[in-house]
Amino acid sequence: MNLANRLTLLRVIMIPFFVFFLLKGDPTNMAIAGGIFILASITDFLDGYIARSRNLVTKFGKFMDPLADKLLVMSAFICLVELQIVPSWIVIVILAREFIVSIFRAIAASEGIVIAAGKLGKYKTTTQMIAIILLCFGNFPFNSLNIPVDQFFLYLCAILTILSGLDYILKNKEVLKEN
């Protein structure tokens, strides 16, 4: 197993620890969870960089990397709903988009079509990660200034989730056409 795949597995292993600390719900444990989330996010960047730069792209990595990302982000959002920090409708929107895009990709793959991630999808992922980090840290340091930056990023990621899902489908609608 190469280094990139090990980093992906490390991210998956971090998820239960992240969830454990996050669900404690107190500021100290949520900050620990936030730190774990940041480390896991860094492994996400590193595994992709290492795999591409060293020509270590594998089928395992192509499968596990996006799965690890989705497990990490969805675990965070579901826990934040449990803690009544994030409204459930936002998580439903995010989950629906992920299911739709995943099924869409599966249909495309069955036709031999590979669909690359778009810029809006990358922005969506970035805003999700920023929102989760800010929410884990109680909107620090903006909370002392009464500036709801965490809420801004939360709603921005919801908007980008919808827009990136629509963009993805509209740009690749030929996948659904009958031959």
Which band of pLDDT confidence, cut at 50, 70 and 90, is reported for residue 179?
low
Contacts of 111 (CB under 8 A, 6+ apart): 175
Return the structure tokens found at 4.
């990139």
Asked if 73 and 132 count as a contact pair (C-beta separation under 8 A), the reply is yes
Report the Cα 108 to chain-centroid distance in Å. Answer: 22
Where residue 62 sits, what CATH number does that domain have?
Answer: 1.20.120.1760
Final residue in a domain of this structure, among 83, 106, 121: 83
Confidence of residue 104 (pLDDT cuts 50, 70, 90): confident
CA–CA separation, 64 and 8 (whole Å)? 7
Tell me: do 33 and 107 sit in the same domain: no
Higher pLDDT, 60 or 179: 60
Whether residues 34 and 121 fall in one domain: no
Total count of domains within the chain: 2
From 54, 83, 112, the end of a domain falls on 83
Distance CA 128, CA 86 (A): 12
User: Does the pLDDT value for residue 149 go beyond 80?
Assistant: yes
My answer on whether 92 and 172 are in the same domain is yes
Higher-pLDDT residue of 18 and 106 is 18
Q: How far apart are CA 21 and CA 146, in angstroms?
A: 25
DSSP secondary structure letter of residue 174: G
The whole-number pLDDT of residue 21 equals 98
Which tokens is 76 given? 């965070």
Give the range of the structural domain holding residue 40, as residue numbers without chain letter: 1-83
pLDDT in tens, 22-53: 999 999 999 999 999 999 999 998 998 999 99
**How confident is residue 112, by pLDDT bands cut at 50, 70 and 90?**
confident
pLDDT at 117: 77
- Quote the pLDDT of residue 159: 97
